[in-house]
Amino acid sequence: MLELKPIRCLIVDDEPPAREVIRRYVQEVPTLHLVGECANAVQALTVLQQQPIDLLFLDIRMPQLDGTTFLKTLKNPPKVIFTTAYAEYALEGYELDIIDYLLKPVRFDRFLKAVNKACAPAASQPSFAAVTAAPAETLSQADEKRSDSFVYFRADRKMQKVMLHDILYIESMKDYVKINTTLGTIITKQSITSVESMLSEKQFVRTHRSFIVAIDKIRSYTNELIEIDAAEIPIGKLYRNGVLKILS
């Protein structure tokens, strides 16, 4: 089997939670090697001067020196994937010849797609995303077809595996979420937004600020409610158009 060269990565973001998400995703991909993390552009410049970096996960809005300005100062920049909470910065990023931009909160499947793009020019070898996961173009389709996809949730002082095809719906309970499955319920201390980032948008849809439902488990729906088994899940006003578009 072809042994792929590790992709040396550097995370630059002034927000610790945002760095933690990307760090966790990088650690999930065996071919990625995390060289370090920086809270600002000045720290990043020091790292870039001291050792080679292949891929830079760069936040745009940072104090002192923003990501786009920092990138313009680099004579021979590595490949760059912007991470931002502001979609309006995407155009400027592409004008700087970046690989992709990830909109926060970053989903893992979207992360893989961006990383796959970063390795696409290496025509002499397959992209590592194709080796460690599904090809980016078919990742969502593959997730839909696989019956063995799963996620882990921390509950009862251990990590519990939950098969995606068993999930009915997910309900937020302040600082906790309840995972309702065909086999029972699991309660974990986590935000519903962080759970949403773990799930495929082809299989699950956020219907309300407090609810996510499995699309294939929906028995019936109206403009205001979704029925799954005996449960009635509300469709929030802010989510209604998107939900109805998907379901129709």
Token pair, residue 84, equals: 């931002």
Q: What Å distances lie between residue 195 and 9, 76, 135, 205, 216, CA to CA?
A: 25, 38, 23, 12, 18
Q: What Å distances lie between residue 120 and 28, 163, 174, CA to CA?
A: 19, 31, 42
Whole-number pLDDT of residue 178? 94
Tens-digit pLDDT profile for residues 149-179:
788 888 887 888 889 999 999 999 988 999 9
Residue ranges of domains in the chain? 7-143, 150-247
Q: Which fold has domain 7-143?
A: Rossmann fold (3.40.50)
Provide the percentage of residues in the chain whose pLDDT is more than 70.
Answer: 83
| Inter-residue contact 196 to 202 (CB < 8 Å) | no
**Cα radius of gyration rounded to whole Å, the chain:** 20
Helix, strand, or coil (residue 106): coil
Q: Which fold has domain 150-247?
A: OB fold (Dihydrolipoamide Acetyltransferase, E2P) (2.40.50)
Q: Whole-angstrom Cα distance, residue 248 to residue 245? A: 5
Token pair, residue 202, equals: 């082809």
108-119 helix and 16-28 helix, angle to the nearest 10 degrees: 70
Q: Whole-angstrom Cα distance, residue 241 to residue 248? A: 10
Please state the pTM of the whole predicted model.
Answer: 0.51
